[in-house]
Amino acid sequence: MKHRTGHLFKRGANFYVRWTVEGKVFSKALRDENGNAITAKREAEEARQKVMAPFTVADEAAALESIVGKLEGRKAELAKWEDQQNPPLSLALAWSEYLASPNRPDTGKDTLDMYQGQWSMFAAWMQEKHPDRPTLRDVSKDIAEEYAAALNGGSRSPNTYNKHLNLLTLVFRVLKGKAKITENPWHDIPRKRAIPQSRRELTIDELKKVCRIAAGEMRTLLALGIYSGLRLGDCATLRWAEVDLPRNLIRRIPSKTARRNPKPVIVPMHPVLRDMMAEAPPKQRSEYVLPETAATYFRNRRALIKGIQKHFLQCGIRTHAPANGTGDKNRKLAVVEVGFHSLRHTFVSLCRESNAPLAVVESIVGHSNPAMTRHYTHVGELAAGRAVAALPCVIGEAKPEPHKRDAEALLREIKAIVGSTTGKNWRDKKAAILALLNTGGGDGQTTPEAGN
């Protein structure tokens, strides 16, 4: 549209303004506020501006609208060009990018395998239901709600459903930048009310039963679980390089925390476990303590788990309990009640029943949650060794050897802790010293320093 300002002309003594719109000529006589004809040029110029003001505003609005349109178009062109040069992350490549991302949280191998299965399930669903949406950026909130509804209609417990959505939320959050997304579509989807599930502990009689009929590597695997508190993956893949037979210690970096906190847990070996480990001839101590078990774990972890569950069932121990939800056609979902992880719970309980201080137990089993470990500190091999040696014997006829009191070693540990005490960590250091004193020995005496 032509920019219109109008121009003045004069007929006789009176001034007029004339302008053109789309080829049509318009004119208007200029008059003052009292309706009198304007004869002075200065007054006529002011009147012209008032008459043409609406047309000027319209021109400016049209001009601005045109500029905005051009900017939006240019912005779209730039975005298209950027996508061509650096395409948004596809669903097919998302998992490998997630694994490579330094922003993802630390996760153990078993959990990562579960995550990968959940992601593959979602990617396959997207390929089937929305083949025209190949990137993470294409997943809208409506699509996320559609997928959640599909999960809801399946045979999944509230815990499984929530974990599945939490994984999708996590992947989209970690890959937000590469995926070029501004809003996480999974964030606001409600989770189900879940009932916590936990493996129960085994009784002494049950432990003796599962160990009595175990043979070969299964027997050693169960002993490791009972007397070390290590998780299945760490027991199955334990290396001889991590076993210190002369000092009766196992040093292992838990796979669950290896990426975030590569700090080993130091587990004193119970006399029964020590004797079992020492039975292996030195020539056979190659890489893995349990080579066949390690191979099965790496090849098919579920097969190893099923083998352990089968062993428990052969011992007359129920491994599954009724679930808190139902699946398709009102089919009850089994909930694992007893598994290899039960041995970890049992180890902690037995240590506590033997009056081992909590700080000692925590130092042995370790924790993946920093909120739980920040209250604990180094407690030393002496206290940890006494805690494990006090555990009952459930395999064979061997009996734990009484741990002789070593007052000098105890004093050295206490002095080392005192020497590293600061104004910020004194509470933790105090707890460590009390832990040492509470496990102070087999002769029932206390050292002079401990009594002060």
In the chain, CATH 1.10.150 sits at 91-179
Give the percent of the chain with pLDDT over 90.
25
CA pair distance 185, 140, nearest whole angstrom: 6
CA pair distance 52, 35, nearest whole angstrom: 18
CATH architecture of residue range(s) 204-407 = Orthogonal Bundle (1.10)
Calculate mean pLDDT across residues 161-190.
Answer: 91
**How confident is the prediction for the chain on average, in pLDDT?**
78
Quick check: pTM over 0.85?
no
Does residue 298 register a pLDDT over 70? yes
Calculate mean pLDDT across residues 206-220.
Answer: 88
Q: What phi and psi values does residue 14 have, to the nearest 5 degrees?
A: -100, 145
CA pair distance 354, 436, nearest whole angstrom: 15
Band (pLDDT 50/70/90 cuts) for residue 377 is very low
pLDDT at position 66, please? 60
In the chain, CATH 1.10.443.10 sits at 204-407
Band (pLDDT 50/70/90 cuts) for residue 96 is very high
> Domain spanning 91-179 has what CATH number?
1.10.150
